[in-house]
Amino acid sequence: MSGATGMPAAPPKEGPQQPLRIGLALGGGAARGFAHIGVIKALEARNVRVDLVAGTSAGSVIAALYASGMSGIAINKLALTMDEASISDWAMPFRTRGILQGVALQNYLNKTLDNRPIEKMAKPLGIVATDLRSGQPILFQRGNTGIAVRASCSVPSIFEPVKIGDREYVDGGLVSPVPAAFARKMGADFVIAVDISARPESGLTSSSFDVLLQTFTIMGQTIKAYELDKYASAVIRPNLNAMSSSDFSQRNASILAGEEAVAKMWPTLQRQLAERGARV
């Protein structure tokens, strides 16, 4: 019969909900970087499953260790037994582009990770550095892990720039102090950003190294504020204002500060994660 209408079509079935992809963005801050270990330990203790990790400068060191499959407790043990001399290599006096070469850090990390390249990590890993020629950030997701981390940590005038291919790279903190945007780019739906930089008004400047890092902190405030506001779902800020960026003797205190920061904001973070469907 013309004009007859059939039964309305059934609505399409919704596919299974994709699990929330949690990204961890670890910022720069030299010796304060040990606080990242405490954050990781605290998140693991609360069953927060991190799917991918991005790191800048000191954060890239911890990001590489964590992405390799090491637990927070294992990284903690490694950090407390690490000899600072094992990652320090003075440049020759006639070199003027940096007082440290950075090769020792590169070799230490590659040895610790059994020379595993970035793309072979247990979790997706992104390492941020700055292209010295263009001033643009670069996200390393393939290649030699130690070299990429060395580039990300190469604070100008402290470390020599790192040549990869036909380009030279320096500290990623110059353009991405806390790489929340890159964690998003890597596929994170929810980004937990860890900001370990001191506030400009409270940073310690007891050495020339501290003065240099403090200068970078001041320069990066606007960039960092924009990136965290736009791309971070939650920001963890360990209380490190009494700790110098150049004092590696305070590593245990830094780790504890990271744990305490997570504990302090856990009710808020737990609620945010639950609202997005994460099981915590």
pLDDT, residue 89, reads: 53
Are the C-beta atoms of residues 30 and 245 closer than 8 Å to each other? yes
pLDDT, residue 5, reads: 38
pLDDT tens profile 79-126: 999 887 666 655 545 456 667 778 999 999 999 999 999 999 999 999
pLDDT, residue 3, reads: 42
Fold exhibited by the domain 22-275: Cytosolic phospholipase A2 catalytic domain (3.40.1090)
User: Which tokens sit at 226?
Assistant: 């924009």
pLDDT, residue 199, reads: 64
pLDDT tens profile 12-59: 555 557 899 999 999 999 889 999 999 999 999 999 999 999 999 999
CA dist 76 and 222 (Å) reads: 32
- Per-residue pLDDT band for 6 (boundaries 50, 70, 90) equals very low
Of 132-136, 144-148, 159-163, 264-268, the least confident: 159-163
What percent helix, strand, coil does the chain show, rounded to 5? Answer: 45, 15, 40
pLDDT, residue 233, reads: 98
Of 20-24, 42-46, 128-132, 158-162, the least confident: 158-162
β-pairing verdict for 98-100 and 137-140: unpaired
CA dist 250 and 178 (Å) reads: 22
- Per-residue pLDDT band for 157 (boundaries 50, 70, 90) equals confident
Which residues are part of the catalytic machinery?
57, 171
- Report which secondary-structure segment, H or E, holds 58: helix 58-67
Provide mean pLDDT across the span 133-146.
98
Residue spans per domain, the chain: 22-275
User: Which tokens sit at 273?
Assistant: 């994660």
Of 32-46, 193-207, 235-249, the least confident: 193-207
Rounded to the nearest integer, the mean pLDDT of the chain is 88
Tally of CB atoms within 10 A around 181: 23
